[in-house]
Amino acid sequence: MGILLIAGGLYLINARSSEDLWAPLRYLGNPSSRWALLTGLCISVYSMIDKLGTKYVPPFAYIYLVLLVTFLAFTPGILFSGKKANIAAEWRANKVGILVAGVADLRTYYVVLLAMRLSYVSYVGSVREMSVVFGAFLESTLLREGYGRISVFASGLVFLGILVIGAAG
């Protein structure tokens, strides 16, 4: 029930009015909609891989292995791309921000992996969508975008779904 509430909230989150409720289904032919669905599929796949990985390896070691494979896979391409100067300039200009974002990202990923070890991947994946609730709140308060009531309602569905999962799990 919680997962269905979250899915319903995520479906409604971009509706601007009650006339837009069927728009996501109408726009499945649009390339951006297909890319969004592919992104969701990729998130599901890497969430399952993370769940399997943390079943056999502790989360900290798993992150180390993922970063090692990433480093080995991408470093040659970066070194031979001819863009080392751009990367060096970006590092000089934004070193502190890059380090803060990197540490925050790793800590968040570690917490997600710990949660995956303790619970079902479908629960953890669903609760990760809490970012939608925060995004809708910021959208309506700070950015003053016009989605208003429907967006807040959809965010409420996501939050309620998370509560149901928490109560059941």
pLDDT, one tens digit per residue, over 90-122 is: 999 999 999 999 999 999 899 989 988 888 787
Whether 17 shows a pLDDT value over 70: the answer reads no
**Residue with the larger pLDDT of the pair 7 and 132:** 7
- Under DSSP, the state recorded for 21 is G
From start to end of the chain, where are the E strands?
A: none
CB 145 within 8 A of CB 167: no
| Mean of pLDDT values over 49-62 | 92
pLDDT at 9: 82
Whether 136 shows a pLDDT value over 80: the answer reads no
Whether 60 shows a pLDDT value over 90: the answer reads yes
> Could you give the angle at which helices 31-56 and 84-118 cross, rounded to 10 degrees?
60
| Mean of pLDDT values over 56-84 | 91
> Could you give the angle at which helices 31-56 and 59-79 cross, rounded to 10 degrees?
130
Q: Taking the model in full, what pTM does it have?
A: 0.68
- Which amino acid makes up residue 85? A
Q: Return mean pLDDT, the chain.
A: 83
Q: How far apart are CA 126 and CA 29, in angstroms?
A: 26
pLDDT at 139: 74
Give the dihedral of Cα atoms 163, 50, 33, 138; nearest 10 deg.
50
Maximum CA pair distance of the chain?
Answer: 53
Whether 153 shows a pLDDT value over 90: the answer reads no
Count CA within 13 A, CB hemisphere, residue 94. 9
Lowest mean pLDDT among 19-28, 34-43, 83-92, 108-117: 19-28
